[in-house]
A and B are shown apart, each in its own frame.
Chain A
Amino acid sequence: MTNRRSFLKSSTLLGFGGTVPTFLGRAAHAAPAAGKPGAKDTILVVVQLTGGNDGLNTVIPFKDELYYKHRPTIAIPKDKIFGLKNGLGLHPSFAPVGRLLNDRAAACIVQGVGYPNPDQSHFRSMDIWHAASTAENLTEGWIGKALKAKSMPAFHLAAGNEIAPLALSGAPARVPSITSLDDFQLRTGGANGKDNQAQKKIIEDVAKGDSPMGPPNLLDFVRRTATNTYESTERLQQIGKTYEPKVPYPTSAFAGRLKLTAQLIDAGLGARIFYVSLDGFDTHAGQGSLTGSHANLLETVSASISAFYRDLAERGNGDRVCVMTFSEFGRRAKENGSHGTDHGSGAPMFLVGGKVKAGIVGEHPSLAKLEDGNLVHAIDFRQVYATVLDKWLGLDATAILGKSYKTLDLFA
């Protein structure tokens, strides 16, 4: 008869504990068979650019005179453009991502992304992107549904007072929103550090404790889950203290959230999905050109993503990660009277990662054929989601999105 000790030991070898705890779920034994997409514990980092990023001043058709005609005061001068290989260019502040594309073949631009009958309300359009649906009532997010399809650890790296996004709702258990590693620890009510340690030790020890002989049962499962949990949180606190990025990160709070993401990945907790946001893209007035508020935002996003990717690559995780940016809409083609831009539609998305197929997907939307002054989308954002779900995470995109969308050629 197998005794409990040996059961616990052998179950550890089966992937329940040790180096890859079943953090937040059943990740360890839920991995798809080798060779399938998602087999290698691929990671998706969703970056939300809140407020409506001005796509036209991010990926710039600088050879098109209409661009300069539409944007007399905020256009980027031709000679300052960061050149890409096909006649397009990037805002120079976005050069860090451009260099990932040109030099390291680790970035992809999907152009002219949107959806039919674009909505110009921030909230409504954001909900549509989050739910991957234009239905009237939107209550579940596309990532929440993905987590329902397959239980995977996920984290929302939140700014101070940022609430959990709709994209994550519908998950079997709420995706934790964390602002720092401190959020994810076992709390005790000790009078001081020593007391806290004594209490933690009891909690950990009683979790390990031996049960009476008998067939393995539910109590063993609780003990194992508890022990794994405490080890994981312990490890999180440790990596918080010891993590040394391989490349310097910018000092922004956004970069800090990506750094925290890198720490969580490095901890080997099995987390597969991360969600990070940066607010401030609603540039209605004085958005600037070469410099100014929009340039600063682009600098923040691209330098942080670049540092994040290079840090991960140095640690051998570059091929496991895919960063995907999106914004609820792009902005009007023509600048407004306040040297800014109003709400628009079709805009680019960026993917960064070692296995991302470097290059540009789709055509830049025409500057001549506008709809209500807006760029017209050619690629539905759900095609990008479907590709990421199917080809990157190895999930059934059609079941999750409720409809079949034509996938794109985004991964090498």
Chain B
Amino acid sequence: MARDATTWEAYSPSAKNPWDIKKVGHLYRRAGFGATHAELLQGVTDGHEKTIAKLLNGTAADPDFDRTSEFMASERSMPAGTAGVQLAAWWLDRMIRSPHPLREKIALFWHNHFATSIAKVANARYMLGQYRLVYTHALGSFRELLREMSFDPAMLIWLDAKESKKGKPNENYARELMELFSLGIGHYTEGDIREAAKAFTGYDVKYGKMTFTEKEHDGSSKSVLGKSGDFKGADIVEICLAQAACPRFLTRKLYAYLVSDTDVPTAEELEPLAQMYKASGYENGKLVETILRSNRFFSSAVYRTKVKAPVDFAVGIVRGLEGNVGPLNLANAMASLGQVLFAPPSVKGWDGGAAWLNAQTLLFRQNLALSLTSTEDTRFGRRCDPVVVLAKHAKATDADAVSFFLDVFLQGDVAPDARTKLLDYLAKSKTAKYPPFWSAEEVQQHRMRTVAHLTLTLPEFQLA
């Protein structure tokens, strides 16, 4: 286990810790939304350097994808009154098809970090504007992101900054800026919040743009985190960014997101990352890259130590089956799984980790897996068909099919009895009774779709 000085050094394969299909799968789950069969094989062939670089930089832009996604996000397609679920569908489609899944994955990290919900903002254009902000800076500068986020129309509405006027400041934004967006509890006082709130007076949203009204701004001198001056909002952001707690807070959160729900690094272990992040001027891409390349990231201690978020689960299935589902139906299914994009449950975002799974959400995950693998479900029909994927990859026998699905979804890494049980099912179902009107081909297809569904219900598949 890489817990020594080499923990953040770049991983290189060894006899003890080789580069294999499990590593490729691990990387694609954490730095994306899961791999396709082709991506897994390519990753093994390409080796670790090339594969990690591919995830970090994305593959060549796909003009067709960009154009379609842009068009779908135009004001004509998605006016202000568009329902949240349509926005969620739009993003899910990007997660499924983007040539640069890491950027979507980190954009999702920031979406969860700033946790703004359309339920209060009630304007799809503003929400889309905030998406663009987190997407633009996903792998760019956190400094820029936090500066712009502080005056983002959706955020101004979400945290009541637009209600905040001289003489009656609203503390909501100032509080969450420190508690949730930059420092974490314990690194500021209530006095800092009250003072900072004065700096955030006078801002509003008009015609979709942030406005600043001098006479509604409290121009008096404020004292925040040891600094004094007639600060405006942007000054408070800089003061927060200058705190030692800021890079530590963000590094820890990003580590949990990319690496592990259960492995909690000590402050000493994280310090080099936090220092590097701060020294880089909060370059997110650099921090993400260091983590994803590290010995720690590829160590057995963090393998499968995350519960998949609902989007990881659903998008992973669609990608693995190379499906082309209607994203709106997928988005509609996500509420029962506990994650509606653009509508996090509170300003804290989704709790994540073990909290993703309970009897309800697990049941609906398993039933969604059935809907996606069966062709009987009217929402997804044949748009995501295990039979088609098997044919495409010329997997003809029962043993081939079991290996194929276990490889795509779990890189073959399951308890031996799970594989045996799947093969047993296929053996027994060969001679089972079927409706007399089913053709031999239909029986075969039924068996293949079933084994795909059963693979997805394995407990290991819930973990990223």
Contact = CB atoms under 8 A, between A and B. Distances in A.
Partners in one complex: yes
B432 A194 contact: yes
A144 to B, nearest CB: 9
A137 B258 CA distance: 35
B458 interface: yes
Interface in A168-201: 169-174, 176, 184-192, 194-195, 198-199
Contact of A206 (B262, B370, B453, B458): B458
B421 A206 contact: yes
B457 A206 contact: yes
A219 B358 contact: no
Interface stretch (A227-235, A242-250, A282-290, A349-357): A227-235
B463 A176 contact: no
Contacts of B462: 222, 226
Contacts of B305: 217-218
Nearest to B335: A174
B349 to A, nearest CB: 11
B454 A203 contact: yes
B374 interface: yes
B176 interface: no
Interface stretch (A19-27, A44-52, A400-408): A19-27
A365 to B, nearest CB: 35
Nearest to B369: A187
B453 A189 contact: yes
Interface stretch (B128-136, B166-174, B225-233, B422-430): B422-430
A225 B358 contact: yes
A170 B432 contact: no
B367 interface: yes
Contacts of A173: 336-338, 358, 360-361
A7 interface: no
Interface string B400-431: 00000000000000010110011001001100
Contacts of A22: 358-359
A338 B119 CA distance: 40
Nearest to B361: A173
Interface residues of A, number: 53
B307 A218 contact: yes
Interface stretch (B50-58, B107-115, B208-216, B433-441): B433-441
A14 interface: no
A207 interface: yes
A40 interface: no
A135 to B, nearest CB: 10
Contacts of B70: none
A148 interface: yes
Nearest to B417: A209
Contacts of A198: 425, 428-429, 432
A273 to B, nearest CB: 13
B338 A187 contact: no
Contacts of A153: 359-360
Contacts of B337: 173
Contact of B122 (A137, A174, A189): A137
B360 A217 contact: no
A202 B421 CA distance: 7
Contacts of A222: 307, 357, 459-460, 462-463
Contacts of B307: 218, 221-222
Interface string A140-166: 100000001001010000000000000
B435 to A, nearest CB: 7
Nearest to A203: B457
A222 B464 CA distance: 12
B453 to A, nearest CB: 6
Contacts of A148: 345-346
A172 B443 CA distance: 41
A23 B360 CA distance: 7
Interface string B266-278: 0000000000000
Nearest to B355: A172
B435 A210 contact: no
A205 B458 CA distance: 10
A122 interface: no
A137 B305 CA distance: 40
Contacts of B361: 173
Residue of A148, A172, A176 with most chain B CB atoms under a 10 A cut-off: A172
Contacts of A186: 363, 366-367
Interface in B327-386: 335-338, 345-346, 351, 354-355, 357-363, 366-367, 370, 373-374, 376
Contact of B338 (A172, A191, A211, A232): A172
B345 A189 contact: no
A139 interface: yes
Given A198-B429, A209-B415, A222-B462, A176 B360 contact: yes
Contacts of B367: 186-187
B393 interface: no
B125 interface: no
Interface string A115-137: 00000000000000000000001
A137 to B, nearest CB: 6
B446 interface: yes
B421 A205 contact: yes
Contact of A219 (B304, B417, B434): B304
Residue of A192, A206, A212 with most chain B CB atoms under a 10 A cut-off: A206
A170 B450 contact: no
A226 B362 contact: yes
A173 B339 CA distance: 8
A206 B416 CA distance: 10
Contact of A202 (B117, B262, B338, B422): B422
Contacts of B458: 206
A188 B425 CA distance: 14
Contact of A139 (B120, B429, B459): B120
Contacts of B335: 174
B425 A184 contact: no
Contacts of B119: 139-140, 169-170
10 contacts: A24-B359, A173-B361, A184-B363, A186-B367, A189-B446, A206-B457, A219-B460, A222-B463, A226-B362, A228-B359
Given A26-B358, A170-B119, A225-B362, 20 more contacts: A22-B358, A23-B358, A137-B120, A148-B345, A172-B338, A187-B367, A188-B450, A189-B453, A194-B432, A198-B429, A202-B454, A206-B418, A206-B459, A207-B457, A212-B415, A218-B305, A218-B463, A222-B459, A222-B462, A233-B359
The 6 closest A-B pairs by CB, nearest first: A173-B338, A139-B119, A229-B359, A222-B459, A189-B374, A174-B335
Interface of A: 21-26, 137, 139-140, 148, 151, 153, 169-174, 176, 184-192, 194-195, 198-199, 202-203, 205-207, 209-212, 217-219, 221-223, 225-226, 228-229, 232-233
Interface of B: 117, 119-120, 122, 261-262, 304-307, 335-338, 345-346, 351, 354-355, 357-363, 366-367, 370, 373-374, 376, 415, 417-418, 421-422, 425, 428-429, 432-435, 438, 443, 446, 449-450, 453-454, 457-460, 462-463
